[in-house]
Structure 1
């Protein structure tokens, strides 16, 4: 089973609301070192934390981070963003968001594969309940794409002894959701669920009721997730 004890953990997006908990809770569970990676590295007051510059949209930055970070046994792909992108109309914002939320996460994992293969390590991709619900538009699309890629990674890397897990969560109290007026998870609870799931050998970690319900709804007709499809169209026809 994967374990945090004596692990060397890389956390991308380490300065964010989830990222800081990923860093601190890894140490609480016995990690020997945590590389706290971000575009603008923070100052940390624990010698076990190594601040690391890493921009997931810049391959040279990712490669430089991999050269510096020694002995990594666990990669937490936590870096992500939301920019209001849509898949309908102008796609420039959607392309930009995919660079961070999709291509960036894949590049980090691929670049750290030599270390992960050597340690028979672990990858955690931080996804979303919106991986399964398109109401988030461009953001949902990036998370759905990474969910699909995560399934491929699980199969492709299993033979190397690398455990690939995903974390799905609904609205959580982080800076990204500051403008959302809805009940939110405590980020500490979400990260605790993530690490519990990893240490239990889980492949898919559903951190809250929203994620559990949306995953279950995938077996229903599409109208169950999108009831607006059953309403009359502008032309007066009923969508089928």
Structure 2
């Protein structure tokens, strides 16, 4: 599909990657951009139509779908990372990660699938290189993103009949508030948005934003001990 002339809705558009998606959609000629956030007063994008949206609240999601019945491109960007482990971490926190990253995305897909069925349209799910590996200290996030990746592949099959493109976008660390304090290499959120929108226009099922994502994806075909060198005895 073409970005120019599209009608897009972006979740978590008040900052970081989501804000870049909304901004670039406007710059690339989208006819309308719904910029959504739990706190809509924080959205500062001239030209965008701002909506209040909490993707973990089915009532809020339904209200957004009713307010935006003309969407042709859904960008599921909103997510959280609580840096929680699975064995010793707080279960309510682990559930919150899954409720946001997996069930929140699913709420959005279920609410907007009928809308997208009219136009064919597209869905872009913002995933992570952690869809494919675990990191001690953030294993709840890895589990939630792995589930979201599987969700992305599943809904692609389910929505193929109505002509809806479903694209998953994977990246490593991005220079956003979520990664505050991280001292490694980080990708510019603007580059993430650009890659995602280019991928939609190219009709791609999957977009790997950076070398780290490509490296992790390639490692899946090998013995996991080659990747998890810090714990080789586990394999």
Bin for the TM-score computed over the shorter chain: over 0.9
Cα deviation for residue 113 of structure 1 reads 1.1
Match of 2:114 in 1: 114
Match of 1:236 in 2: none
Which residue of 207, 210, 225 maps to 2:209? Answer: 207
Match of 1:216 in 2: 218
In 2, Cα distance between equivalents of 1:19 and 1:91: 28
Match of 1:235 in 2: none
In 2, Cα distance between equivalents of 1:43 and 1:29: 19
Match of 1:147 in 2: 149
Q: Give per-residue Cα distances to partners, 1:51-85, cap 9 Å, x unaligned.
A: 00000010000000111113000000000011122
Cα deviation for residue 228 of structure 1 reads 3.1
Computed over aligned residues only, the root mean square deviation of the Cα atoms, in angstroms, reads 1.2
Q: Which has the larger radius of gyration?
A: 1
Match of 1:103 in 2: 103
In 1, Cα distance between equivalents of 2:45 and 2:94: 37
Match of 1:125 in 2: 125
Figure out how many residues of one structure are paired with residues of the other and give that number: 231
Q: Give per-residue Cα distances to partners, 1:130-150, cap 9 Å, x unaligned.
A: 111111311111100000111
SS of residue in 2 equivalent to 1:57:
coil
SS of residue in 2 equivalent to 1:159:
helix
In 1, Cα distance between equivalents of 2:11 and 2:189: 16
Q: Which of structure 1's runs of 4+ aligned residues deviate more than 4 A?
A: none
Match of 1:93 in 2: 93
Cα deviation for residue 44 of structure 1 reads 3.6
What is the TM-score of this pair, normalised by structure 2? 0.95
Cα deviation for residue 3 of structure 1 reads 1.4
Superposition pairs of residues 15-26 of structure 1, within 5 angstroms: 15-26=14-25
Match of 2:13 in 1: 14
Cα deviation for residue 97 of structure 1 reads 0.9
Residues 116, 164 of structure 2: 8 Å contact kept: yes
In 2, Cα distance between equivalents of 1:17 and 1:191: 10
SS of residue in 2 equivalent to 1:228:
coil
SS of residue in 2 equivalent to 1:88:
coil
What is the TM-score of this pair, normalised by structure 1? 0.93
Match of 2:159 in 1: 157
Structure 1: tracts of 5 or more residues without a match = 232-238
Structure 2: tracts of 5 or more residues without a match = none
Cα deviation for residue 229 of structure 1 reads 3.4
Q: Give per-residue Cα distances to partners, 1:70-124, cap 9 Å, x unaligned.
A: 3000000000011122211342211111111110011011101111100101000
Match of 1:229 in 2: 231
In 2, Cα distance between equivalents of 1:118 and 1:84: 39
